[in-house]
Chain A
Amino acid sequence: MTAQSLFEKVWQRHVVVPETADTPAILYIDLHLTHEVTSPQAFDVLRARKLQVRRLDRTLATMDHSTPTDTAQIFGGLPIKLESAARQVRQLEVNCAEFGVDLIGLQDSRRGIVHVIGPEQGATQPGKTIVCGDSHTSTHGAFGALAFGIGTTEVGYVLATQCLLQRRPRTFEIVVNGRLPAGVSAKDVVLAVIGRIGVNGGTGHVIEFRGSAIEAMSMDERMTVCNMSIEAGARAGMVAPDATTYHYLKGRPFAPTGADWDKAVADWNTLRSDAGATFDKSVSLDAGTLEPMITFGTNPGMVTTIGGNVPERPGDAVFAKSLAYMGLTAGERMADKPVQVVFIGSCTNARISDLEAAAAILRGRKVAKGVRALIVPGSQQIKLEAEQRGLAKVFTDAGAEWRESGCSMCLGMNGDLVDSGQYCISTSNRNFEGRQGIGARTLLASPASAAAAAVRGRVTDPREFLG
């Protein structure tokens, strides 16, 4: 048998009907996560065609994008302030009730960002195919699942048939060997990767992240890396499952138990790229040379080290337009650039270890005067854990706002906004124009870098706070 990659193994297991020259493959979907923003029109299609949700046991819904993070609007009896958001949340409740879909609702203690709670509940497992009407579905690939974002039409297809039509993507290995220096995080790794291959470097490909630096990462860190595969244009990102994966999953609500667990692990152990597996593309990075990263432009590929300068690209009009939006000039130093807003949250960096990294810097310190720091846990479970472990108190003592979970300031559709012209250092995934609010200027960075900037009120290398 020819050597296969991790992707090829997972793909092959899910082919219902193989692809031909005329027709794409029919690919089976094991887990369909759905949320309020990209599902209403899909449920309408089911109604119009008199179809049911075919596999309720493989479908899980929640709400995260348009939900407020203000406690009073979630638990305090106040209505959701944004009327259209309230309507959308209500529509999901109606759709789930009508079709019988399990809904982790607004006040559910298991609620959170869909890509945080899938793994947290143990629904995300190695070898599964997982889709969601959201591009950051790539996050779940950290478990050795094949997970990718789809549009609303395809949400409807999966609801109705549990399948999608797909051409087999190409494969791309990104090897990160060596040890990450202290103060350099998974976020810095993936920003460095995107800087290297570009925001279109992964188009048409599924990336497998491999190498000793990836193997040494926790699940939280692997999720951060896979989450941003889409920012390199990739269809999905994957990491082979190992002891770290199993340790994370064991005992979670949806994880197998008893003899089923042992059987599952034996199977999951086969899900790694064979020696000699070939990839259509390959790139290597040395973890030991990486530094804290920060974006300076309006896509995640426009990135440099925190100690670096905005590059110069004379004659590039698009680049110049991007810098004009950001209010930055070519050649300018990134360090010491004042920030007005700090956002620690999102499906990229709102898990417990991200909050710990931020707390390590904020403990006993204050958010700089004139800076608004918003810290939004990825799920209600993480919120609870952070409160029990005293992290939340570190944040509030420092003067940061501590919120209910949700997508929050990652995208301006739930009331959490950055004002026009303000600089926001953000642990989220996209620095697109207007993403965090009209005219908002986003600087993507790690939780430690965001916390360091909160304390100083300007872009700061988090290693200044080490030891």
Chain B
Amino acid sequence: MDPITVIRSRTVVMPSTNIDTDQIIPARFLTTTVREGLGVSLFADWRYDKNGQPKPDFVLNQPAARGCQVLVAGRNIGCGSSREHAPWALLDFGIRVVISTEIADIFRNNSLKNGLLPVVVDEATHEWLLAHPGAEVEVDLPASVLRLPDGREVTFPIESFSRYCLMNGIDELGYLLSRMDAIERYERAREGA
């Protein structure tokens, strides 16, 4: 996992509310046994027509979306299935930050585990972002601040432990393994072994 500090990018905007993980990556792509290569199938049913050709009116197919690392989505993105293929697909496509007013629990959790930064903002900031697709924003993880082009700074909440892991590009498994003594003690106390 690459460490995240500051990400500067134009935004790509998908205003739909309740974008579920079945849209982000449809179930038929879940028979894979690896993490890689899902970007091409990201939003497949919204992105391609019956013949597999890109739909020109879909936002991610437009030239302006190229290179955008920040996705601004309508309220409650990531609801539904726990498939981690959703953040894998977004990352593989090049998205590194998802901004909304609400982000569903399991998707948010899965995103944090993979270096996809979930950023929850207030309604007013969200409305501004929805109204200004392509805005150049700066997501400053160490400061937990989103900077808008007019210089406004919006603080976003992020669990300090997750922030530490993301900034250092490490996962939580090492921490859990380092607490094995406590885990074994707990098991002995409960199982009486």
Q: How far is the CA of A37 from the CA of B30 in the complex (A)?
A: 7
B161 touches A22 (CB 8 A): yes
Given A151-B106, A318-B15, A434-B45 contact (CB < 8 Å): yes
Q: Within 8 Å CB of B87, what residues of A?
A: 151
Given A82-B31, A91-B33, A49-B45 contact (CB < 8 Å): no
User: Number of A residues whose C-beta is below 8 Å from B?
Assistant: 61
A204 contacts chain B at the CB level, 8 A cutoff: yes
Question: Can you identify 30 A-B contacts, CB atoms within 8 angstroms?
Answer: A17-B179, A17-B182, A26-B179, A41-B34, A65-B30, A135-B81, A149-B82, A151-B110, A152-B110, A153-B114, A157-B172, A157-B173, A160-B177, A163-B179, A165-B172, A165-B176, A199-B79, A200-B79, A203-B105, A233-B79, A299-B18, A299-B79, A318-B15, A318-B18, A411-B22, A411-B81, A412-B27, A413-B28, A430-B20, A434-B23
A430 touches B183 (CB 8 A): no
A47 contacts chain B at the CB level, 8 A cutoff: no
Chain A CB within 10 A, most for which of B105, B113, B171, B183:
B105
- CB 8 Å contact bits of B90-113 with A (1 = contact, 0 = none): 000000000000101110011001
Minimal beta-carbon separation of A173 from chain B (angstroms):
18
A281 contacts chain B at the CB level, 8 A cutoff: no
Minimal beta-carbon separation of A149 from chain B (angstroms):
4
Please tell me which one of the listed residues B82, B110, B161 contacts residue A165 in the complex, with CB atoms under 8 A apart: B161
B75 touches A151 (CB 8 A): no
User: Number of B residues whose C-beta is below 8 Å from A?
Assistant: 51
Given A21-B160, A41-B34, A434-B22, A411-B102 contact (CB < 8 Å): no
B17 contacts chain A at the CB level, 8 A cutoff: yes
B26 touches A412 (CB 8 A): yes
Minimal beta-carbon separation of B176 from chain A (angstroms):
4
Q: Within 8 Å CB of B172, what residues of A?
A: 157, 165
A432 touches B106 (CB 8 A): no
Q: How far is the CA of A301 from the CA of B113 in the complex (A)?
A: 28
- CB 8 Å contact bits of A155-194 with B (1 = contact, 0 = none): 0110011110101000000000000000000000000000
Please tell me which one of the listed residues A84, A154, A301 contacts residue B31 in the complex, with CB atoms under 8 A apart: A84
Q: How far is the CA of A216 from the CA of B160 in the complex (A)?
A: 44
A28 touches B183 (CB 8 A): yes
From B48, which residue of chain A is reached at the shortest CB distance? A438
B176 touches A430 (CB 8 A): no
From B29, which residue of chain A is reached at the shortest CB distance? A413
Given A16-B179, A153-B171, A299-B20, A434-B26 contact (CB < 8 Å): yes
Q: How far is the CA of A49 from the CA of B171 in the complex (A)?
A: 12
B39 contacts chain A at the CB level, 8 A cutoff: no
Q: Within 8 Å CB of A218, what residues of B?
A: none
- CB 8 Å contact bits of B158-188 with A (1 = contact, 0 = none): 0111000000000111011101101100110
B134 contacts chain A at the CB level, 8 A cutoff: no
A40 contacts chain B at the CB level, 8 A cutoff: yes
B31 touches A66 (CB 8 A): yes
B82 touches A435 (CB 8 A): no
B104 touches A203 (CB 8 A): yes
